[in-house]
Structures are given as structure tokens and as C-alpha cells.
Amino acid sequence: MSQASAAPGRRLGNAGVQFKKQGRFARFMTSEKTSGVVCALPFIIGFLVFLLVPILLSFYYTLTDYSIIGEAEFIGLQNYIDMFSDDKFFKSLGVTFFYALVSTPLRLVFALFVAMLLLKNSKVSGFYRAAYYLPSILGGSVAVAILWKQMFAADGVINQVLGMFGLETDFAWLGNESTAIWTLIILGVWQFGSSMLIFLASLKQIPTELYEAASVDGASKARQFWKITLPLLTPTIFFNLVMQSINGFLAFTQCYIITQGKPRNSTLFYMVYMYDESFTRHHAGYGAALAWVMLLIVGLYTGFLFLTKRFWVYDEEA
């Protein structure tokens, strides 16, 4: 074969190989796997840069004496050892446990009660649902915290309302150790809106045939609630319990704005103490260790709730 006749064949062969490579590249770029990776890449990068790296960095700082403005000095486990001799650490931990374990059940009970009241549809149901949900949006804000502080002051609205009923008093609700924490718990219970909406959605999923059959059998409303409504709501109760308990352990604004931990650290939340150690006293290494201890506590508590789940949560597939 002559060189003149072989050249077009080689050109066609090279073009075929190039076209084949372009075809593979096009198929690779348009494949579902590539599309999935490309779509997820911003979230993966965000997770690595803004979450995983800071988490690992914060754990490193727990092993150092770090003040943010200076160099970190490696001290091993000294920050964790210091916690055992820190009375304020145990005090804030106790206050936070009390707040989370008391406010969470009260909030769920109140949310379920209001959800059952709003279960029936009417022309004003939408308005009431929005009105009751509003505290969940505003309850954690600085403005509401300042308002709450004014309400429970010695000359606040609460004492004035009591005076209208003949109970004249200038009692400082936020200045007394036995009542200050309860003002924060009441604020926490008032933020029941998100749990209420979840309960409301779950209540609507319960088949009405069950209530009709129970009514035919003569079951009272109370018995229907205990035997039908409550068991079928246990998955929702479990979900709300986990989420609201975590929120309770991580509460910050209420204490920081309203009481600043006063009087005598009786309302000192763990997160406020951690913030104070990190950014006010510039013990960032110790503050990071406090954060990791709280992470461990929340993880253990959530794990405990999951262990108890099979004893009281209704499982349709079981």
C-alpha cells in the first residue's frame, strides 16, 4: 500500500480515537454519578471547610493553653483535669440539666395540649396556629429576652397584674435564687410552637376509623386518648423529646440576656459559662474542652433515649 493511500486511513483512525475519547468524556460528564458529585460538591466543601476542620481544630485547642490572641501552648489533658476542681463547671452543669429536664417535658405537654385544641378546622384555625407558632420564632431573640426581663422586674408587668388581684408585691423574680430559674423555664415552655405544629401534623394522620370504632364500643374521650392517640403519637413524642432536649442543653440567649447567671450562678447555663471562659476570660482552650464535654453529654443522653425507644415508642413494623 502506498503512503498516499495510507495517510487518510491514519487520519480517520486518529479522528476515531479522538471522537471515542470525547464520547467517553461526554458520557462521564453527563453520568448520574458525576452529576450527583457535582451537585453535592458545594455541600461537601462547605462541610469540610466550615464544619469538620473547625471541629478538629477545636479538639486540638482543648489540649492547649490558648487565649485567642496568643500562641497555643500544648498542655495535654490539663484542661479536662482542671474541670474536676472547677465548682463553676459543676454548678453550670447542674443548672443546665435542671433546665433541660424540666422545661422539655413541660413544653411537650403544653404543645400537645394546644395541638389538640387546634385540631378541629375552622375559619380562624390558621390564624391561631400562626399566633401560637410565633413565640418559637421570637422566643430565642434578644428583643423577647429583654421584654421578659422587664416583665419579671420588681416593677414589671407580673407584679402589676398581681397587684390588680390584691396581691401587692415588689418581689424581684429574677433576683431570687428559687424563682429566677423558673422565669427562664417559663420562657422555654412558651416556645412550644414548633413542637405543636409537629404534633398537629401527626394528630391528623391518625385514622378516624379508630375513634369511630372506639365510640361504638363505648370508650370515653379520655380512654380514646390514652389507648389510641397517645400510643400512636409516641414516635412524634420521641422526635420532639430528642430535639427539644438538645435545644435545652444548648440554651444560651435566655441566660445571657436576662440573668447573666445571677443570682449567685443559680441560672448559669453551661453554654454561657463556656462563652464566658472563651471570650471574656480568654481561656479559649478551656472553653473548647467545655464544648467537647457538652458534645459528649448530648451524645450520651441522645443514645440513652434511643436505647429506651423500643420500650415505649410504637413501631408499626415491629
Instruction: Taking residues 233-251, report their average pLDDT.
Output: 94
Q: Are 191 and 106 in contact (CB under 8 A)?
A: no
Instruction: Taking residues 132-149, report their average pLDDT.
Output: 73
Res. 283 pLDDT band, cuts 50 70 90: very high
What the block records as the C-alpha cell of 111 is: 404543645
Residue 156 has pLDDT above 80, yes or no: yes
263: DSSP letter: S
Residue 244 has pLDDT above 80, yes or no: yes
Instruction: Taking residues 234-254, report their average pLDDT.
Output: 93
Distance in Å from the first CA to the final CA of the chain: 78
Residue 2 has pLDDT above 60, yes or no: no
**Which residues partner with 65 through β-bridges?**
73
- Those residues whose C-beta lies under 8 Å from the C-beta of residue 101, and which sit 6 or more positions away, are 245, 248
What's the pLDDT at 1? 45
64 in helix, strand or coil? strand
Distance CA 80, CA 128 (A): 49
In the chain, helix, strand, coil percent, each to 5?
75, 0, 25
What the block records as the C-alpha cell of 62 is: 482543648
Average pLDDT, the chain: 86
- Provide the whole-model pTM: 0.82
Q: What is the pLDDT of residues 52-71, one digit of tens each?
A: 999 999 999 999 999 888 88
* Ramachandran sector of residue 172 (left: φ over 0; alpha: ψ -120 to 50; beta: rest): beta
The alpha carbons of the chain give a radius of gyration, in whole angstroms, of 29
